[in-house]
Structure 1
Amino acid sequence: MALRRSTEVPTGLAPILLPGEKLVTAVHAHWGKLAEPVATTTLGFAAAIWVDSNVTKATQVLGTIFWWLFFVLLARLVWCFLDWSHNWFVATDKRLLLRYGLITHKVAMMPLLKVTDMSYVRSIPGQFLGYGKFVLESAGQDQAMREVKWVPNPDQTYRDICAEIFHIVPPPGDEDFEDLGDLGDGTGGTGPGGRTGPGGPTPPVSPIVSAVSTDYPDVHRTHNPIQDRLDSYSRPVPIQPPSRPETVYESDDIKRRRRGADTGPIWPQHED
């Protein structure tokens, strides 16, 4: 089970989420984690039936022992299933969380800003069955989350988390994310109030720019490659539009000094 960019919070996760925290992904461990208990219980059941059908009066106790072993394996299977259904790997716009423990509930947490490296490993069975192991590195030495095993659909989960870490806006038309829709409410387009001057309609605003302005209010609507190279953890520097070509890092006194040194046009020199 996996959730991406959904406003619906799974049962049991609401107490560990902060007010206003957006859920990016929430997944149970891959079903392959239950493969060994299921296979062991199935083999125990087959062995109990075979022994019980071939016992004699002298070996009837042996058949009873096999049935009790099967019931122990069945109880273990139920325990593993309940533990699997209770464990969650959660990523929000602020943190990575691992909720686990059936009797004693435990929560491991790592802020996204502390993640210095995140990779995942896919073994040969994981490539066939569709699971992987995440390895997390942070700036601190004591890490509550070091390895997250049995992550289902690791490729997509990895991309979702990295997109949130680096503030990458999804492209228009991505069905897994919220549809931005038409902006005809005065924020752009040709709807009522969408004008920049007398009688002139505002050109349509790009959905990517609109999403950035909504999710990250510090980011200016006008972008260029300079801002794309800024560190993701620093405050974005507004870039002036082409109609006002000013150097980003010039202060007012430098501008006045530069303009005061202007001597006017230089006339061409003609040789005699």
Structure 2
Amino acid sequence: MGYPDNVLAADERVVLHRHPHWKRLIGPVFALLLLTALAGFGVGVVNHTAWDHMATKIVMLVIAVIWLILIGWLTLWPVLNWRSTHFVITDRRVMFRHGVMTRSGIDIPLARINSVEFSHGLVDRILRTGTLIIESASQDPLEFDDIPSVERVHSLLYHEVFDTLGSDESPS
């Protein structure tokens, strides 16, 4: 799926479109599994009690409602947040958009970028992700965490910046 065309200029083209790395979804998946196991255990315990039939139904309903609320908060919301976060490089700018209900974002024209760096620790290197650091002409460096294949993105952005500037230092 490409980035929505309605935010691009007439002759602007998307060079790269990424969501954050899938490692951000590890916690929500574990939460889903753990909460489902706990809810199943709770239902099993309630099922084997000698309570009144109506009391058993009410307790099971309470377990289901609590499960749904926690799943929405700890699983669904982070997945929606991950899905609605976009890191996009076009032939003119770098765009970062995030947020589900309230959206925010930043655009950095390629001509204003002074330097591009990346960093990643051991776990990030194993998972092939990292932090991309972009320093523009008028701002403090901006850090974009959990960019998949951060070294390739760094290299691509470096080439795009020099192609935009038309510099003699431009790599081939």
Let me know the Cα RMSD of the aligned residues: 2.8
- 1:35 partner letter: I
- Listed one character per residue, the Cα deviations across residues 146-194 of structure 1 (whole Å, up to 9, x for unaligned) are 2211211112111111111122xxxxxxxxxxxxxxxxxxxxxxxxxxx
The TM-score with structure 1 as length reference comes to 0.53
After superposition, the C-alpha distances for 1:22-81 in whole angstroms (9 at most, x for unaligned) are 221111111111111111121011011112212333995766544333211322322322
Q: Which residue of 2 aligns with 1:75?
A: 72
Decide which structure has greater strand share: 2
Whole-Å separation in 2 of the counterparts to 1:135 and 1:63: 49
| Deviation larger for 59-68 or 106-115 | 59-68
2:2 alignment counterpart: 10
User: Is the helix fraction higher in 1 or 2?
Assistant: 2
Is the contact between residue 115 and residue 136 of structure 1 (CA under 8 Å) also seen in structure 2?
Answer: yes
**Counterpart of 1:85?**
83
Counterparts in 2 of 1:70 and 1:125: CA distance versus 1, 3 Å: farther
- Aligned counterpart, 1:161: 157
Structure 2, unaligned runs of 5 or more: none
Aligned equivalent of 1:21? 12
CA contact (8 A) 2:87 2:95 kept: yes
Any conservation in 2 of the 1:132–1:152 contact (CA below 8 Å)? yes
Q: How many residues align?
A: 163
Q: TM-score, normalised by structure 2?
A: 0.80
Counterpart of 2:69, as a letter, is V
- Counterpart CA distance in 2 for 1:126 and 1:117 is 22
Tell me, in whole angstroms, the C-alpha distance in 1 between the residues paired with 2:131 and 2:34. 28
| Distance in 2 between residues matched to 1:75 and 1:132, nearest whole Å | 28
CA spacing shift, 1:125–1:63, aligned 2, 3 Å: farther
1:50 equivalent in alignment to 2:45: no
* 1:125 alignment partner AA: V
User: In structure 2, the residue corresponding to 1:69 is in which secondary structure?
Assistant: helix
Give the Cα–Cα distance (whole angstroms) in 1 for the partners of residues 92 and 135 of structure 2: 16
Q: Which 5+ residue runs of structure 1 have no aligned equivalent?
A: 1-8, 168-214, 220-227, 233-272
For residue 66 of structure 2, what is the amino acid of its counterpart? Answer: L
2:10 aligned counterpart, secondary structure:
coil
Residue in 1 that maps onto 2:96 = 98
Find the residue that maps to 1:166 and give its secondary structure: helix
Amino acid at match of 1:10: G
| Deviating 4+ runs (over 6 angstroms) | none
Percent identity, please.
24
Q: Please tell me whether Structure 1 or Structure 2 has the larger radius of gyration of its CA atoms.
A: 1
In the aligned structure 2, how far is the partner of 1:119 from the partner of 1:31? Answer: 21
CA distance in 1, matches of 2:42, 2:102: 39
Cα deviation, residue 105, structure 1: 2.9
Question: How far apart are the structure 2 equivalents of 1:147 and 1:137?
Answer: 9
Are 1:95 and 1:109, in contact at CA under 8 Å, matched by a contact in 2? yes
Is the contact between residue 31 and residue 71 of structure 2 (CA under 8 Å) also seen in structure 1?
A: no
* Equivalence for 1:148: 144
